[in-house]
Amino acid sequence: MSMDFSEFKRRLGAEPRSRDPDLVAARDASPENRALAEEAERFETRLEDAVSVAVPGDLVDTIRAIPKRAGPRRTLWPVALAASFLVAVGAAGVAWQMNRGWDSVEDYVADHYRHDGDRLVAESLQARRGDVHALLAEYGLDATPEMADVVSLVKRCPTPGGTGVHMVLHTESGPLTVIYMPDTAVTDHATMAFDDKAVVLVQLERGSAAIIGQARSPVETYYAIVHDGIVALAGRS
C-alpha cells in the first residue's frame, strides 16, 4: 500500500534520513515527494553545520586547572562551567548559521515546519510537554493565562536570528503551531501558504511569531491570542 503525502511528510519529519524501504519508495513516488525529501536533507545539513563547532584541544586540561572552591556544594562547578561553555559555543554556531540559512522568513517557516512540524503536533496529542513560562522567560517574556492554557508542547528551536521557541497550541479549531523568533522582524499580519498549511506572521514588541495551521482552519482568528498572549515578563520592559 502506497504512503500518502501527509504520512510521508510526517515520517520524513521524524526520520529524514531513514532507509526504511517504504519511506525510500515514497520518496521516489513523485517529484513533489523527492523535492520535499531534498529540502529535509538540506535542513539536516544546516543543523549539522550549525552545531559542528570546533572545541579547543586543551579545553579539558584548562578546566581541570581551574581551582575548585571550598565546600562540598562547589566541587562540581568546573563541570558546570564546561557544560555552559559548550552550550554557549553551540548556540553561537546555530545563530551564525541561521542568519545565513534562508532567503526570507517565509522560506524559513516552510522549511522549519516541513522538518518536524507534523511530528511535534502528533506528539502534542499524547501528553503535555515543556514549560512555556520557563522558556519564554529566557527572552524576558511570559505567556498570558489565556495562551498558556492552550499550549500543549513547547521546545527550543532554531530561527533566523538564533534559538527560539516552538509551541503547539490546542484550540477549538484544532492544533496550531507557533514559532517564536526572538530577533526576526516580520510584516505584521502578513499571510502565506505552503503545502496544505496557512500561516499568519505576528510582529511582537520583542521579536516575532509565525502561526501555522491547516489551510482549511481559521488561522487568522488566532492572531490576537498570540499577539496579546506573548508579553513582557513582569518587572521587565
Q: Which domain holds residue 10?
A: 5-51
Structure-derived torsion over alpha carbons of residues 161, 165, 170, 172, reported in degrees to the nearest 10:
-30
What CATH number did the domain enclosing 155 receive?
3.40.1000
In a domain, 237, yes or no: no
Residues 178 and 93 in one domain: no
Q: What is the CB neighbour count within 10 angstroms for residue 162?
A: 19
Domain edge (last residue) among 35, 51, 67: 51
pLDDT at res. 168 = 97
Q: What pLDDT does 4 receive?
A: 79
Task: Give the integer Cα–Cα distance in Å for 149 and 169.
Answer: 9
Torsion of CA 114, 230, 96, 197, to 10 degrees: 20
| In contact, 230 and 181? CB cutoff 8 Å | no
Report the domain count for the chain.
3
Output the nine-digit C-alpha cell for 130: 515543556
Verify that 115 and 92 share a domain, yes or no: no
Which regions in the chain score pLDDT beneath 70?
1, 10, 13-14, 44-101, 235-237
C-alpha cell read off for 96: 551564525
Cα-atom radius of gyration of the chain, to the nearest Å? 20
In a domain, 68, yes or no: yes
Q: Supply the angle between the helices 5-14 and 31-51 in degrees, to the nearest 10.
A: 20
Distance CA 165, CA 159 (A): 8
CB atoms within 10 A of CB 131: 12
pLDDT at 3: 77
Tell me, what's the pLDDT at 35?
81
Q: What is the pTM of this model?
A: 0.60
- Report the SS3 class of residue 58: coil
